[in-house]
Amino acid sequence: MNERPAALGHPYDDLEQQRDAATMGMWLFLATEVLFFGALFVGYTVYRIAYPQGFSEASRHLDATLGAVNTGLLLTSSFFMALAVWAAGRRRRRLVLLFLLLTMFLGLGFLGIKGFEWYQEFRQNLVPLPGLTFEAGGDFPQQSELFFNFYFIMTGLHAVHLLIGVLLVGFFAVLVWRRTRIGEAFIMQLELLGLYWHFVDVVWIFLFPLLYLLGGT
């Protein structure tokens, strides 16, 4: 038996096997996430079919410009995340740190804008919570309320996922900052984190047109 590399854990025989297993585990986890969010998309679709006018009325209350800016931020963050993995593969420690920090700040920027949007909606009485008045106006207020229920649950769950992503990216940045060199195990973990980050981005890519852009002109 050769000496076991430091990054090789129990119960694996070699690094490639370990990496394959970890990648597969992560993709399976993402498949569960697809279904987790997917059920919400199904619910949204069912009610959109049932209440087309109310949904389109309600959607017009959302700020499509802010939504587009946020989409841009997430796409850019994904780009930097991919670059962080790319740089890690080349052992460029400082570049990895830079890209991770950029990713994190773009994620935080997204959350900031999202929070601002929620605050705007709160000021416009569009938050359907007990104790608050909900006044969407228009011809189909109760249908609009259903739209906003889904809007808040979907964007809320997405934001929670993104927040977890931001915290993890920050944690990884600290690791890179404190270590002197980048090891095999770290590269593998960073790749997995990248998969998660991109997945959260993909969810938003679908949320954006479905929630913000169905009001038409």
Q: Which of residues 136-155 bind another protein (CB under 8 A)?
A: 139-143, 145-146, 149-150, 153
Residues 97-126, interacting with another protein (CB under 8 A): none
Please calculate the CA angle 158-159-164 and round it to the nearest 5 degrees.
100
> What is the nearest approach in angstroms of another protein to the Cβ of residue 167?
18
Nearer to another protein (CB atom), residue 37 or residue 172 = 37
User: How long is the chain?
Assistant: 217
Question: Which residues in 70-99 contact another protein (CB under 8 A)?
Answer: 71-72, 75-76, 78-79, 81-83, 85-86, 89-90
Q: Does 201 bind another protein (CB under 8 A)?
A: yes
In whole angstroms, the minimum distance from the beta carbon of 106 to another protein comes to 12
Helix crossing, 52-59 with 15-50: angle to 10°?
110
198 binds another protein per the rule CB under 8 A:
yes
Beta strands in 1-130 (DSSP E): none
Which residue, 45, 32, 31, 28, is CA-closest to 154?
A: 45
Q: Min. distance of Cβ 92 from another protein in angstroms?
A: 11
Q: CB-wise, 3 or 39, nearer to another protein? A: 39
46 touches another protein by CB under 8 A: yes
CA 178: distance to chain centroid? 27
For position 189 contacting another protein by CB under 8 A, the verdict is: no
Beta carbon nearer to another protein, 51 or 110: 51
- The torsion angles phi and psi of 139, rounded to 5 degrees, stand at -90, -15
Candidates 3, 6, 11, 123: give the one binding another protein (CB under 8 A): 11
Is 41 within 8 Å of 206 (Cβ atoms)?
yes
| Nearest distance in Å: CB 105, another protein | 17
Q: How many helices (H) and strands (E) does the chain have?
A: 6, 0
Rule CB under 8 A: which of 17-36 touch another protein?
A: 17, 19-21, 23-25, 27-36
The torsion defined by the Cα of 81, 83, 85 and 88, in degrees rounded to 10, comes to -130
Identify the burial level of 181 via C-beta atoms within 10 angstroms of its C-beta, where 0-12 means exposed, 13-18 middle and 19 or more buried: exposed
91: left (phi over 0), alpha (psi -120 to 50) or beta: left
Binding status of residue 3 toward another protein by CB under 8 A: no
Choose between 72 and 115: whose C-beta lies nearer to another protein. Answer: 72
